[in-house]
Amino acid sequence: MKILQAVLLVFFLCSIRILNGQNIAKMEVVYRIHNMDKIKSEQRLYKKSGEDNLMADIYYPINIESRAKLPIVVFIFGYSDDDIMKAMGMGSKLKKMGQYTSWGKLIAASGMIAVTYETQNPYNDTKDLLAYLNENADDLKIDKEKICLWSCSGNVPTALSFLMNDRNEYLKCSVLYYGFMPTPDGQYNAVLDSVSQVVPFSIDAISNIKHYHKDLPLLIVRAGLDNVPRLNETLDYFIKQAILNNMPITFFNYSNGHHGFDIRDDNEISRYIIKQTIEFVKLHLNVQ
């Protein structure tokens, strides 16, 4: 079964490298708003790792100098840059992919700060990034008490690890698009493990949903046409348990949506879901 899952995932990865004649690394979010194209990012060194300097890109709204501290959305990565570039045959790091540069601009144009980053060890680097943002909040004009974590696909397990045992009160909400989820009984751990062998992501910290902080608002989007092996099975189980536990979830079942719909499916439904995602984040980060 593991071999079959791995073969299917390799097929999936090969199939999405080029979509509609476009390199997936260059595809951008299909929803745009006023002033997005005017947004610029600033690079900051957030961590030294051996001989390497790990950089974060921080996307600010226009005229940030005249603004008070702002809430932030951190885009969580579950793959090392080297692993994702090798597996996807890409020439750019995650933070430089069109998906993340355009989402960063979208968040900033919506009145918040967005952060993406380089990573070698996803869990440890993410933890160090969050510490860096907290320690330098004044200089970065960040409201460190209002943070949202956004993640998608195989990055989601790393995001979930920060929404479970080591969650802090500064995390106000999270957005999870078409991602692998844990199950209480570990039913799909073998699935997660086999997939992580092909495109390595961190699954160690999400073995049990019972550790999840059930008061944290979540927005989850399920892509009905997702062709990543077994992904929707893990997501469906998570949703069922979340409802049984009366967790504060906002859920979109995008029946005709593909994996990566936010950059692949250029239609009004995609734009509606993305717009509602922005409104969800603004609501829980108290952005006027």
Residue 44: CB atoms within 10 A of its CB come to 17
Tell me which residues of the chain have a pLDDT lower than 70: 1-22, 66, 87-91, 165-167, 183-212
Domain that holds residue 261: 2-284
- For residues 153 and 231, give the distance between their C-alpha atoms in angstroms, rounded to a whole number: 9
Furthest-apart CA pair in the chain: how many Å?
A: 57
Q: What is the mean pLDDT of the chain?
A: 84
234, 183 in Cβ contact below 8 A? yes
How many alpha carbons lie under 13 Å from residue 186 in its C-beta half-sphere? 6
How many alpha carbons lie under 13 Å from residue 7 in its C-beta half-sphere? 4
Beta pairing, strands 218-223 & 18-19:
unpaired
Which pLDDT score is estimated for 8? 42
> The CATH number of the domain where 164 resides is what?
3.40.50.1820
Which pLDDT score is estimated for 160? 85
228, 9 in Cβ contact below 8 A? yes
- For residues 127 and 170, give the distance between their C-alpha atoms in angstroms, rounded to a whole number: 14
3-state secondary structure of 26: helix
- For residues 106 and 48, give the distance between their C-alpha atoms in angstroms, rounded to a whole number: 29
- For residues 262 and 234, give the distance between their C-alpha atoms in angstroms, rounded to a whole number: 21
What pTM did the predictor assign?
0.89
111, 148 in Cβ contact below 8 A? no
Which pLDDT score is estimated for 105? 98
Which pLDDT score is estimated for 197? 59
Structural domain count, the chain: 1
3-state secondary structure of 163: coil
How does pLDDT run across 100-134, given as a tens digit for each residue? 999 999 999 999 999 999 999 888 999 999 999 99
